[in-house]
Copies of this chain bind each other. A is one copy, B any other.
Amino acid sequence: MLDRIKLTDLQSKVMTAEESANFFEDGMTVGSSGFTRGGDSKVVLKAVAERAKSENLKITLVTGASLGHGTDAALVESGALKKRLPFQVDTVMRKNINAGNVLFIDQHLGETAEHILDGQFKINLGVLEVAEILEDGSLVPTTSVGNNAVIAANADKLIIEINTAIPTNIKGIHDIYSVEEYGKRTAVNITECDTLIGTETIKVDPSKIIAIVFHDITDAPGDIQPADDATAAIAQNIVSFFENEVEEGRLTKSLMPLQCGIGKVANAVLGGLEHSDFEDLVMYSEVLQDSTFDLIDSGKMKFASASSMTVSQECYDRVIGNIDSYKGKIVLRPQAISNSAEVIRRLGIIGINTSLECDIYGNVNSTHVSGTHMMNGIGGSGDFARNAYISIFVTASVAKNGNISSIVPMVSHVDHTEHDVDIIVTEQGLADLRGLAPRERAIEIINNCVHPDYKAELLSYFERACAERGGQTPHILEEAFSWHSRLREKGSMKKEELLMVN
């Protein structure tokens, strides 16, 4: 175990998680590793939650993205969290955010590092999971990079968790690069998905390391749901769209670098590509999922870049157990780089993200149920949607047994404006909004994407809005959220007549 601390001076810093938790003070801002369950703090933050049960200890917690192992829930339940950013997916935390008990900053994942650099969040303490500490004190990350490098560089003090479940030969799958301070910044010089611009490890001032904690806990496995009918139809619609773009000469058989949000649709789309004519695919995304590794293993995908891996236990064992064989095929980068505006624009990415609801003009809500209640957060969807070559949003046309239409007159919250949305896909079909003005988009979306139960009413709304109010983006403001109000009052967006029938 101790041989994982090659800078032997630091071996004296080894302690238990409980001991390390004593370094936390009320009011601190803490930065930790962890991105969609990959490479998160497994024991130190849990010990902090324990401490907070009996003490007044409230922190602001900045991570890469979501954590696994119920850590966010444990912190919330013990009252240890004042503020949380930039993303979460935890049921308990979600409830407490929406109740106003925890302040949540929903942030473009590519920008969190900027806000650490510019001093909006001064990191008092960093908690980073690593595979090993090398002779010069530099850190070998594990299954995610997230904001680890900017935390390591900017935190006053660091607590290191060494995860012995991760083999040390994971060294070599990371590419660590941080932007310089303003005035000295140069381009983030990635010109292909596999361009490496950084170092294999995270440089750190070893004197900042105040504690080292060992554990051997693997990442909480991703919970991949099998494709249902709607998901499979959405995936098929996207694959057909790609095939048509190839036919029209706008894409080649290797498409463009792919970005996929996490979840079953993304997995189904990538799965669909496996049984297709496409070849030599590459990925420049946030998270590597099972489907990514399946494409790599089957030879369909040449290279995949992301900030983290979130996979099933089976896939985890396959990849981590054979990590050397994936070198040169995958890379994990800081999220400021995986989600870098300039790289996304330069590479010409096809971005596929999921929305909660879209409106008839192509605005997208990815975060707020009924405009008020946080689901997860915007994540990286904005980083990609804004700068993608083609920005695709997917959603089933209805949710909650058909009682919610995912296409509404006006979205109750906007995460992605009409400017940043090229294609909307449901199981009903695909709306290609490229080159269309708002009134043209409305017809395309209503015709192709809306569930039959809601189509007539949506068309009627649009037609009345044009006739009665007009404008570039016709709306009847008093009615724009009437579907949401109906849902709130009657439990369904459906009109009474339809409710009687169904």
Q: Residues of A at under 8 Å CB distance from B?
A: 83, 97-100, 103-108, 111, 115, 118-121, 179, 182-183, 185-189, 191, 250, 256, 341-342, 345-348, 363, 367-368, 370-374, 378, 382, 386-387, 389, 412-415, 417-419, 434-437, 439-440, 465-466, 469-475, 477-478, 480-481, 484-485, 488
The answer to whether A100 and B341 touch (CB under 8 A), given A118-B389, A389-B118, is no
Cβ of A375 to closest chain B Cβ, rounded Å: 9
Taking CB atoms, residues of chain B closer than 8 Å to A475 are 371-372, 412
Chain A interface, DSSP helix/strand/loop, else mixed: loop
B347/A471 in contact, CB under 8 A: no
- Across the interface, name the chain B residue whose C-beta is closest to A413: B473
Are A182 and B477 touching (Cβ within 8 A)? Answer: no
Assess whether B100 is in contact with A473, with CB atoms less than 8 Å apart: no
Inter-subunit contact A477/B434 (CB<8 Å) = no
The 9 A-B residue pairs whose C-beta atoms are closest, nearest first, are A342-B342, A372-B471, A187-B187, A374-B472, A414-B414, A103-B437, A182-B348, A477-B481, A373-B471
Cβ B437 vs Cβ A389 within 8 A: no
| Chain B residues with CB under 8 A of A98 | 470-472
Which residues on B sit within 8 Å (CB–CB) of A413? Answer: 473
The smallest C-beta distance from A463 to any residue of chain B, in angstroms, reads 12
The chain B residue sitting closest to A189, CB to CB, is: B187
Q: Which residues of B contact A435 (CB under 8 A)?
A: 105, 115, 120-121
User: In the complex the two chains form, is A419's CB within 8 Å of B471's CB?
Assistant: no
Note all chain B residues with C-beta closer than 8 A to A415.
417
CA distance A329 to B493 in the complex (A): 59
**Which residue of the partner chain B has the closest CB to A119?**
B250
Contact A191 B186 (CB under 8 A): yes
CA distance A154 to B268 in the complex (A): 38
Contact A440 B103, beta carbon cutoff 8 Å: yes
- In angstroms, Cα B417 to Cα A368, docked, is 13
**Could you list some 15 contacts between A and B, CB below 8 A?**
A83-B437, A106-B418, A120-B435, A182-B256, A185-B348, A186-B191, A187-B346, A341-B345, A368-B472, A370-B477, A372-B470, A374-B472, A374-B473, A414-B417, A417-B417
B residues in contact with A372, CB < 8 Å? 465, 469-475, 477
**A187 (CB) vs chain B CBs: closest residue:** B187
A434 to B439, CA, bound (A): 36
Q: Across the interface, name the chain B residue whose C-beta is closest to A435.
A: B120
For A341, the chain B residues whose CB sits under 8 A away are 341-342, 345, 386-387
Whether B108 pairs with A419 at a CB distance below 8 angstroms is yes
A166 to chain B, nearest CB (A): 33
Asked whether, in the complex, the Cβ of B99 is within 8 Å of the Cβ of A470, the reply is yes
Instruction: State the CA gap A485–B476 with chains docked (Å).
Output: 10
Most central of A98, A256, A435 by chain B CB within 10 Å: A435
Write out the residue numbers on chain B whose beta carbons fall within 8 Å of the beta carbon of A256.
182
